[in-house]
Amino acid sequence: MKHDRLQAAPRVSLLTRKRFQFAGALVIGALVPWLARGPLPGKVIEAASLNALVANAIAIAIAFWMRLSIETYPGIRRSYVILPSALTGHGLTIVWFVLTRFPYDRIGLLAGFLLHVAFLYVLYVYAERNVRRRIAVVPFGDINLLTRVPGVDWKMLTRPRLHDSRGCHAIVADFSADLPDEWEAFLADAALAGRIVYQVKQLGESLTGRVELEHLSENSFGSLLPARGYFYLKSFLDFIAALLVLPFALLVIVPAAIAVRLDSPGPILFRQKRVGHAGKPIIVYKFRTMRTVQVEDERRAAMTADDDDRVTRVGRFLRKVRLDELPQIFNILKWEMSWIGPRPEAEVLSIWYTSELPFYRYRHVVKPGISGWAQVNQGHVAEVEEVHRKLQYDFYYIKYFSPWLDLLILFRTIKTMLTGSGAK
């Protein structure tokens, strides 16, 4: 058994180890710029140079912490997080210098940022981009759906031997299944050997970004309650951010409003009654992107089909880059919405979905948002079958409600705006 434990650890490249990446970033992004300024008289030991060294090190630590916090969520490529996290870390240090007026070396700070980002992207291209997770599976219980998840090499175990799981990053098992004694002993040995052992349900949520509705029970809702402290802090930060963004948003809102008015007859803004936090009705604003036509079926009128002929030329562009939702900044200022959260549904559709889908009304436990986890993973949907999958994404967001998940959604929303994916 001792020999088995020694053989069990997966072989991981040094370049992919977090400690190496952090230490390397400190050397490349903090120490090298400081030493490179050395040949100039007095630059290494003067206060401005030393402050830049410390600031670059702190910025790298902040960026590394952000990456570790965000990369745990599914559907995220590390290449998407490198630049935003580095910008945040180094940006915070610059703000600190501006506010405190401490002396600092501008060239040293800029060099530190550029070298830090370049180092991480080189590591990603040459060491991390093609790395696939390999997970050993204990062959009992509800594991069939999990092993169909793409992007992972699944190794089905046939006997309870740690040696058989060598080269795997982790082991997964259904703890609710009636496991034979020898397999329970195997899992205990794996834990004692320092191996990562996942429960099948939690791993499935982590890989797919969804909470399976069929598995919910009365006891499940306790784990889906969002953190109330962050809920109120988030509402306050949303309001402050909306106030700060509003002057810049008006630079886009005004020309967009003119374009909507010139493109087709009708009002500039589309106002619709939707369901907000705690199930309360709210009036949501957005740019009108469709021609005003009479539709007898109110439910069908609230849906947008692929290549809907009601969409105007300007409206199609606004939808593609998600600028049609920009007027909802006023809903945020009214404390009705958030920047990030489940999208508010039209009241007529919400009533329909509630009658068709179990637990649908539970998505109103948090404020609706301009962008959300379902939108960056699935795009726009309307039919009940698609909304069922969307609800799984919404429940995942509620269960893992945190600033890091919001930050990840923000990064992916920017990518979605640039690519126009998922628009209708």
What is the Cα–Cα distance from 361 to 338, expressed in whole angstroms?
Answer: 18
What values do phi and psi take at 226, rounded to 5? -70, 155
18 contacts: CB under 8 Å, gap ≥ 6: 64, 68
The pLDDT assigned to 273 comes to 93
pTM of the entire structure?
Answer: 0.77
For the chain, list the domains and their CATH numbers: 2-7+9-128 (no CATH), 133-208 (3.40.50), 228-419 (no CATH)
pLDDT reported for residue 80? 76
Contact, 138 vs 179, CB < 8 A?
yes
The predicted structure's pLDDT at residue 216: 61
Sequence letter at residue 195:
R
The tokens describing 214, both together, are 């069929």
| Backbone φ, ψ for residue 275 (5° rounding) | -100, 125
pLDDT tens-place values along the chain, 424 residues long: 444 443 444 455 677 778 888 999 999 999 999 888 765 554 446 788 889 999 999 999 999 999 888 877 765 667 778 888 999 999 999 999 999 989 888 999 999 999 999 999 988 887 766 677 888 999 998 888 787 887 788 999 999 998 888 888 789 998 888 888 899 889 988 888 878 888 888 888 888 888 876 656 544 555 567 777 889 999 999 999 999 999 999 999 999 999 999 998 999 999 999 999 989 999 999 999 988 766 655 666 566 666 677 889 999 999 888 899 999 999 999 999 999 999 999 898 888 888 887 678 888 999 999 999 998 888 776 677 788 888 889 989 988 899 989 988 998 888 888 776 655 5
Do 138 and 187 meet the contact criterion of CB atoms below 8 Å apart? yes
**Beta strand residue intervals within 227-368, DSSP E:** 269-275, 281-287, 338-340
What local confidence, expressed as pLDDT, does residue 297 receive?
Answer: 59
Q: Residue 53 and residue 58: Cα distance in Å, rounded?
A: 9
DSSP string, 195-208: --EEEHHHHHHHHH
State which amino acid sits at residue 367: K
